[in-house]
Structures are given as structure tokens and as C-alpha cells.
Structure 1
Amino acid sequence: MIRTPLLALMTAFLMVSFVSAEDENTRQFENEQQHETYRQLIKELRCPKCQNQNIADSNAPLAEDMRDRTYQMLKEGKSREEIINFMIARYGDFVHYQPPFTKVTSILWWGPLLILIIGVGTAIALTRKKKAVAELTQDERERLEQLRKSRDE
């Protein structure tokens, strides 16, 4: 029985790494270049079910199917680009960690910049507002000075 959550987490990480290593060891490649292309592709393609894991690290059946299809396509002589295009056509732009710049994905590219501009603009506006509130008129300054003198006496 597993006693601590940390031990359970470590066990899960070990299982994932063994599955990934086992997957690569059971596949036969014609040359080292093909094997390296396979490794790059399965790290570069995202599991649509897990959403934040590449297919190399995912244990989902869908990721396993994607790894199988990647291997088959490499064996058929398909290029890296052909495999990526096939996966994008089948699962959408989300499946690739480097989505192309399109109208749909433009929010992924411009979103962080837009958030930064809004944040800087808000900070500037709040700073200016504070300064405007802190400034007193001449009458207010005189009244404040009278209050300070009367308090000190």
C-alpha cells in the first residue's frame, strides 16, 4: 500500500518513463535518422485528450494510436512535415505545439502581448490617478496646516 502522495507521484512518473522507453525499444527503425525523427515527432505532437502532454509522455489510448500512426507513416517513407500535416488535419492545430499563424490561432500569438499592454496601461492609469488624488489645492493646504498647528498646541 502506498502511504504518501509523494511516493504515489514518483511511482506514476516512473511508470510513464518506462512506458515511453518501452514504446521506443519495441519499434524497429531502418536507421538512426528515422529513429531520431520519431523521437522528435512524439515529443512535438500534443495529445488531444491530455491537452498538456506530448504523445511521448501520455498513456492515453489516443496517444498510443498517434504514436503507432507516426511510426507507420515513417516506415512508409512519409516526411516529418507530411506526418505533422496529417495529424493537424485529423486532430486540429492544437495537436502541434507550434501552431501556424492563422486567424483562429492569432489569439495564441497576440494574446500575451495584448495582456502585457493592458497590464502596463492599467498600472500607468492607477499611478496617475493616485497622484491626482494626492494633490491639494492652496486652500486645502492652508487648512491642513492650521489643523496640524492646532493639534500640536
Structure 2
Amino acid sequence: MFQLFHHQSTAKVNHQIYAPVDGEVIDLIKVKDPVFSQHTLGQGFAVLPSDGIIFAPVSGQVTLVASTRHAIYLRMANGLDVLLHLGLNTADLHGRPFKIHVTDGQQVKGGQRIASMNRLQIKAAGMSDTVVVVITNSAERLAQLQVNYGPIFGGHRLGWATVKD
């Protein structure tokens, strides 16, 4: 009986979404990049950051840290693939504004500090420091994504995602 309750609470935790950074959570449609705003890569949300400390948006395994350090891919235990994208068009900065504290294959907990970005360096290059979180296999696996928009502290829960049966 207790295992049943433990299993349910673990499953619920596996669906939680966390703020990747302090700031203002906005709808993906408001992001000034059509790849994200038109949901080309999947469903998600963005944060207009007020800080540069980056937290894991979900619990799961790091599947890839981009060589340019502007993107981290994670896979949740429920099979959802999540892209954490730091800034817009920031691959062109060749990793300079980013410090990544995780490696491929590492398990992380939602809300865990995993990176930092130098927002001033990004803005000085004429780029946006908007942080984007996208579920890249939304079409195949995502049943529902619930996100609370507005101000948030990085690492705090801001919503949840459920998978298709």
C-alpha cells in the first residue's frame, strides 16, 4: 500500500517543470525568434531573465551539452526530451558567455543549479538573453503542458507536463 503512494508521488515529481532562471515567464509565441515562437521545435515557454544563474528546468538525464554551451538537452524519466536554450542566436558566441556545470549522461534534479551565463556579454553582442525551454518531442509524447506565467525565481516550480498514454 505504501509503495503505491510512493510511486504516485514519484510520478508526479517526474512531471514537474522548474524555472530555469530568475525573471518573467512568457508564452513561447512572444519570443522574437520564429523557430521558437512558431513552435517549430515543440511546445514550451521562455523566461526574460533578471539574473544569469541557470537551473535545470526538469529532473532527468543530460543527453547533450552543445559544444557552443548555449544549449543543454535533457530527457525526463517519462520520456519527454527537453531543450534548454540560453539566449537567442547565441551559438555564434562560441560558448564565451556560458559556464556549464553538468556533463553528458549526468542525472540532475529539477531546480538544481547547472550553469551560468553572462547576460551583459550576450547583450553587448547585440543578442537577446531570453532563456527558452522546449519539449522537442511534443508532437509524439506530450499530452499537456501547464505553465504559470509571470515573475518567478529560478529553480522554483512553475508548472508540469504530462505524457500521452
Higher strand share: 2
TM-score when normalising by structure 2: 0.24
Q: State the structure with bigger RCO (CA 8 A, min sep 6), 1 or 2.
A: 2
Bigger helix fraction: 1
When the two structures are superposed, what TM-score results if normalisation uses the length of structure 1? 0.25
